[in-house]
Amino acid sequence: MLQPTPNARTIQLPQAHGGLQCVAFEVNMIQENCYLLWDATREAVLVDGGAFYPEERAYIDAFIAEHDLRLVHLLITHGHFDHIFGLDHLSSRYNLLPEMGRNERATYEAAKEQMTAFLHRAFPLEVPPAGRMLDEGDEVSFGTHTLRIINTPGHTPGGICLHEDAEGALRSGDSLFQGAIGRCDLPGGNMQTLVRALSEKVMTLPEQVCVLPGHGPTTTIGQEKRMNPYL
* SS3 labels along the chain: CCCCCCCCEECCCCCCCCCCEEEEEEECCCCEEEEEEECCCCEEEEECCCCCCHHHHHHHHHHHHHCCCEEEEEECCCCCHHHCCCHHHHHHHHCCCEEEECCCHHHHHCHHHHHHHHHCCCCCCCCCCCCCEECCCCEEEECCEEEEEEECCCCCCCCEEEEECCCCEEEEECCEECCEECCCCCCCCCHHHHHHHHHHHHCCCCCCCEEEECCCCCEEHHHHHHHCCCC
119-141 pLDDT, tens per residue?
A: 888 888 889 999 999 999 999 99
Q: Could you give the dihedral angle defined by the CA atoms of residues 93, 94, 96 and 99, in that order, rounded to the nearest 10 degrees?
A: -100
pLDDT reported for residue 204: 97
When pLDDT is averaged across residues 75-86 and rounded to a whole number, the result is: 97
Average pLDDT across the chain, whole number: 93
Domain spanning 9-227: CATH superfamily: Ribonuclease Z/Hydroxyacylglutathione hydrolase-like (3.60.15.10)
**Does position 13 have pLDDT exceeding 90, yes or no?**
no
Percent of the chain with pLDDT strictly greater than 70: 95
pLDDT band at 117 (very low <50, low <70, confident <90, very high): confident
What are the residue boundaries of the structural domains of the chain, listed by start?
Answer: 9-227
pLDDT band at 1 (very low <50, low <70, confident <90, very high): very low
